[in-house]
């Protein structure tokens, strides 16, 4: 399995959810949407994250974005890893970027 951790600044959450809907990952206007994990820096909500299993095709799209998706990719924190432990993957990327979960939710 290829695990993906995707994190967007809070200001880009809706754009990320809209793109997810266009790709068929979620229904249009789904709540909470793909980016459903609130993340904070120094006790302030600053980012939203998601952890998913992805294909090489998805990785290629992120690493070679279209002009339309480039602005979103420019602010996206992402990491892909072959792992059987997605929780540790998510937590590793949070730590590397100075982010923390806002609560003890499952990811």
For the chain, the domains span 2-101
Which neighbouring-strand residues pair with 23? none
d(CA 56, CA 62): 10
Q: Report pLDDT for 107.
A: 61
d(CA 7, CA 51): 9
Predicted confidence (pLDDT) per residue in 32-84, tens digit: 778 989 999 988 999 999 999 999 999 999 999 999 999 999 999 999 999 88
d(CA 68, CA 5): 21
pTM beyond 0.85: yes
Q: What percent of the chain has pLDDT over 70?
A: 91
Burial class (CB in 10 A: 0-12, 13-18, 19+), 31: exposed
Is residue 30 scored above 70 in pLDDT?
no
Radius of gyration of the chain (CA): 13
Is residue 24 scored above 80 in pLDDT?
no
């Amino acid at each position: 399995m290829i695990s993906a951790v995707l994190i967007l600044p809070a200001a880009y959450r809706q754009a990320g959810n809209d793109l997810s809907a266009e790709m068929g990952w979620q229904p249009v206007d789904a709540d909470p949407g793909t980016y459903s994990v609130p993340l904070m820096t120094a006790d302030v909500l600053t980012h939203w994250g998601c952890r998913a299993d992805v294909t090489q095709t998805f990785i290629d799209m992120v690493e070679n974005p279209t002009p339309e998706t480039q602005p979103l990719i420019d602010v996206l924190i992402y990491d892909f890893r072959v792992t059987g432990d997605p929780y540790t993957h998510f937590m590793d990327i949070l730590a590397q970027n100075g982010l923390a979960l806002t609560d003890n939710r499952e990811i």
